[in-house]
Chain A
Amino acid sequence: MSSIGTGYDLSVTTFSPDGRVFQIEYAAKAVDNSGTVVGIKCKDGIVIGVEKLIASKMMLPGSNRRIHSVHRHSGMGVAGLAADGRQIVARAKSEAHNYESTYGEPIPIKELADRVASYVHLCTLYWWLRPFGSGVILGGYDRDGPQLYMVEPSGVSYRYFGAAIGKGRQAAKTEIEKLKLSEMTCRQGVIEVAKIIYGVHDEAKDKTFELEMSWVCDESNRQHQKVPEALLEEAKAAAKAALEEMDAD
């Protein structure tokens, strides 16, 4: 499936003879090798969940956040190189702030996604920059309702009702497709996302992980926030129970 682009992969401003830009594809590999990030659009909001692989037992739980608030009404889960993801989040926050200062209303999610995508794409156009080694799942709730976008290192951005990036994305996408999202509330969605993340985590290959989740929905007053402690625990418990059920088969 993957090929080495010998000779044509030294610069992001070089095309290969079959029309590929290898540097961008390599950047995408960085995202593919990171912990899974899942986002779903329920009928009343968005839920984002991250499989945060813990590098060291000495890290405090809750540190190294992978989900960031961009504005009151939106947030991003990042996958791939953490530092690169940091920059994307910073840019998104800046764009959201500038838009509101100029136009007097919170930035529409579509516009925010466009601006983030343009910025990521920008960094694939010059030889003296490298592409971002991270992708983001952006979820927000504006006047047109809840919306979910995914931005990849190439700079493409599409709108989704369910999206996943990282190691377990294939399995996660299969699970998401089974859900009836248009009938689900975010409360139920949180449980489902937890189950998916626990389900795709590979105990054998990977270290332990911490589940990080956020939502923006009617229940959270259309503000992006961490999923409340009680609900998070409920979700984790349900996910572990579902795993045992699967193992028991």
Chain B
Amino acid sequence: MDRDATADVNAPHSMGTTIIGVTYNGGVILGADSRTSTGLYVANRASDKITQLTDNVYICRSGSAADSQIVSDYVRYFLHQHTIQLGQPATVKVAANLVRLLSYNNKNMLQTGIIVGGWDKYEGGKIYGIPLGGTILEQPFAIGGSGSSYLYGFFDQAWKEGMTKDEAEQLVVKAVSLAIARDGASGGVVRTVTINSEGVTRNFYPGDTLPLWHDEVEAHDSLLDILNASNPEPMST
């Protein structure tokens, strides 16, 4: 397991990632961390893994950054044409199906786990999980990425049907923050996107606003600063 500790800066960009999508009473909330790593090096510590496909449909990307970007570009293109032909916004189901077809038919070449979430006038808020092989599953909530392993038990306990927007947002932020605490491949900030009949809202939670979990320590001043202070105490409580 201990390969060359000098980070693999030329390794393909992978989003270790924690991604989440939940439905609530009136819409959906998508959440993600912001770490993109190449091997052990964090290539981007503030990436945006929540990508827009249409006005009313967004996706969370995990796995290979390149693969998930290409899939999302193709689906955005197809959805755009579909919207023009149909004369009205595409449904979340159609968007998810297009993602699934690409994932499934190119399964030998792609490595992406995608969560599709959005709102349309027929079905309201919907979440679809499309993991590695190209299965499609409509779920009341979906989790993905390496950090999601630590969240299965959490959601079993904390999830409930028909939450309010604020409850759902807090749940998502808490969950991503828990995963970041335990998963080395997830980190940075928490981004959320809320989609409902009124439109889309983006939120941003910087790392230092997130709660501290078991064993995580508060930020301390450096010992050097203490030495320079007027009254050097060995350690603050």
Chain A residues within 8 Å of B, Cβ to Cβ? 102-105, 108, 110-111, 114, 143
Contacts and interface: CB of A to CB of B under 8 A. Distances in A.
A103 B98 contact: yes
A113 to B, nearest CB: 13
Given A102-B101, A105-B91, A143-B122, A111 B96 contact: no
Contacts of B82: 103
B86 interface: yes
A104 B86 contact: no
B122 A104 contact: no
Given A104-B93, A111-B85, 6 more contacts: A103-B82, A103-B94, A104-B97, A105-B97, A114-B85, A143-B122
Contacts of A105: 91, 93-94, 97
Contacts of A110: 87
Interface residues of B, number: 13
A149 to B, nearest CB: 15
Please report whether the interface of chain A is mostly helix, strand, loop or mixed according to DSSP: helix
Closest 6 CB pairs of A and B: A104-B97, A103-B94, A143-B122, A104-B93, A105-B93, A103-B97
Contacts of B101: 102
Nearest to A100: B97
18 contacts: A102-B97, A102-B101, A103-B82, A103-B94, A103-B97, A103-B98, A104-B93, A104-B94, A104-B96, A104-B97, A104-B100, A105-B91, A105-B93, A105-B94, A108-B86, A110-B87, A111-B85, A114-B85
A104 to B, nearest CB: 3
Contacts of A104: 93-94, 96-97, 100
Interface in B86-112: 86-87, 91, 93-94, 96-98, 100-101
A114 B122 CA distance: 22
A164 to B, nearest CB: 27
B190 to A, nearest CB: 31
Contact of A111 (B86, B91, B98): B86
A105 B100 CA distance: 13
Interface in B59-88: 82, 85-87
A114 to B, nearest CB: 8
A104 B130 CA distance: 14
Contacts of B96: 104
Of A104, A110, A111, A143, which is in contact with the most chain B CB atoms at under 10 Å from its CB? Answer: A104
